[in-house]
Amino acid sequence: MSTTPDPTCRAVSCHQSCTTIYSSIPELLRGFAANDSSDEDDPNESRYLGQNSIAAFLSEEARAGQTSGDGEQDVIRKDIMPILGLQISTSSYPFMSKEHMDKVKEDIAAALPSDRDVLKTFQIYKQIVQPFWGLLIDIEDFESKLCIYLEDRSATAKHPANGGKGVSSAWLGMLFAVLAVATNYTELSYHKRVATSQAFVQASFHCLRLSNFLIRPSLESLQALLILGFVLANDMKAEASWALIGLTCRLAQALGLHRGPHENARVPQPTASDLPRRKLWWTIVWQDSLLSLSFDRSPIAMMTRCQLPLGPTADEGWSYTEAMYQLCSKILESVNNDSNADPDFNQIIKDSQEVENIRQQVCPQFRHKDSCKTVQDRLQYFAVRLHTAFVVSVLCRPALRRGEIIGMDVAQKEMLAAKCKQNLTETVRMYLKMHSLSVIPTRSWAFTYHGLSSAVLLGILGETKTDPEVRQLQGDLISALSTTAARDQTSMHLPQSEKDIELSGPLSRALAALKNIYDHGWVVEGQPGNSLDPNPAQNENQFQFQQQQNAALAMASMQNGLLPPIDYNQQLMPSGMASPQIVDQTMNMSPMDLFDSIFWDPYPYNGVDVDQLGGFDYTQPPLYPQF
């Protein structure tokens, strides 16, 4: 079974997408011109200013002067406020010339496919993306506006003299972002998906620049940025995604989305009317916290006073998105990456239990597997267990570090280590359950990282040899990813079109390490260099890097008593294994240190421009105009 829509709702046809371009570019350009005002700030949308700041004081004085008619207050509003950067700016996007902006408008108009293709791709978003990530805060409102926009576009194309209503640049940026993320889950081949999605990403960001999103952020531009960050992560550019989500958080804070109820608001709003803003903030926190958790970095939104956006039926059970809001709230409370305090056993157990309790507080239809009636229910059941298990494993990871922990005895440390292993196993198990039903996990960075990193850590801990179930799960995971990621390996005999995903450097190294652990019980020696390699210097550098990782895993395993000692003279040295100096450097590595070295150590590019490595060959004819 799969949640991928039937053929009538499948992805944009490559041929149709290339040939079906917006019928009349000037109509869309007139829409931009006619709706420039819609990109201005909403007069009811207040900027957030700390109440003790001079800027906030002057802002309040200016608003008070509007009713009193005081000329001095008018001076504050017109002369002083712009100096402080608090007046709504009418300036254009600061990083692009006006001539370039005009050209961008034409490129955007040419990038939008036919109405039918837009609706097909949106249906994929609606059925696959929205239920699992909730990136649009009001999908019904977006769909309604989309239909109106497409109807108006069609009518304007037939009768240009009547003009069109047009849409704001920020909203159009949302549309392109939705098309970009949905394309990733279509049934197009890998390279067609990448090219099409990339074109939509570029068009979306062009729209955001037209809306001047840095100076005039809005709820629409924030949603577009949020979706673009998600697309970058799924395209295995997690570092770029993390940075963009950080910018999105800052812009959201500028609009005061992180505030508590009625805090410093000009006009107090009922809780229900404030729900979209709170949903947007917590969806941003969702993406930020999961990415930061993977990198072991502090989320930018560590402190938030915004209430969780729970619906009216939350008392009967949380929806999937509400459960994820709750989980991310616990991440902010419990995972303090920058703290130097020693781990507390009782606090870890308490936090772990609260995370596990989320599973029993979700809606009845996916609280238990036997209650699931639809594919979506089943996938969400597996996803909740996957995310919660992964977070619990992170909470328990301090027990895997070498040495004593102040305030924690040996028995407590062993208990946490066992709990960590159980939840690592559950994470891999749930990933494979999801994979059996849908392409969602393999095409989503967070799911893939959680599943693969958990399997690798289990291997480092020696569970591959001691636990038959873990070994079976690891073999199944290797098989699942090998049908896609293994095709990323350079091969003259494999057509590029067969590739389904492309793992990033850390994930590809982790998959290679997992394969070696599974096949040999430890990471074996690197492959001998190929004398026919056209780039011997780069090949040698990569070979040395692989040697270092091989030595790291072998020596750390020996030090932790997890794997049998290896006869290095027989097993490793004939292939030019790492020097004794490299081996000495890895003698004292704990499992977590080794795990970090596999995933996050810099990859040696040997002076090669990073932009020239990997990726899609954009010299081929594009599916859409490349901007």
The mean pLDDT value of the chain amounts to 75
Question: How far apart, in whole angstroms, are the C-alpha atoms of residue 240 and residue 540?
Answer: 29
Angle between helices 98-111 and 25-34 (to 10 degrees): 130
Q: What SS3 state is found at 553?
A: helix
Q: What SS3 state is found at 391?
A: helix
pLDDT at 63: 62
How far, in whole angstroms, is CA 562 from its chain's centroid?
34
Specify the higher pLDDT residue, 161 or 572: 161
177-202, pLDDT tens digit by residue? 999 999 999 988 888 999 999 999 99
pLDDT at 33 over 60: no
Contact between 157 and 26 under an 8 Å Cβ cutoff? The reply is no
Q: Count Cβ atoms within 10 A of the Cβ of residue 62 and give its class: 0-12 exposed, 13-18 middle, 19 or more buried.
A: buried
The residue-averaged pLDDT of 459-472 equals: 89
Most confident of 16-25, 32-41, 519-528: 519-528
Question: How far apart, in whole angstroms, are the C-alpha atoms of residue 326 and residue 386?
Answer: 15
Specify the higher pLDDT residue, 511 or 284: 284
Q: Around Cβ 618, how many Cβ atoms within 10 Å?
A: 11
pLDDT at 352: 97
Question: How far apart, in whole angstroms, are the C-alpha atoms of residue 615 and residue 88?
Answer: 41
pLDDT at 100: 67
pLDDT at 91: 60
Phi and psi, residue 138, nearest 5°: -145, 85
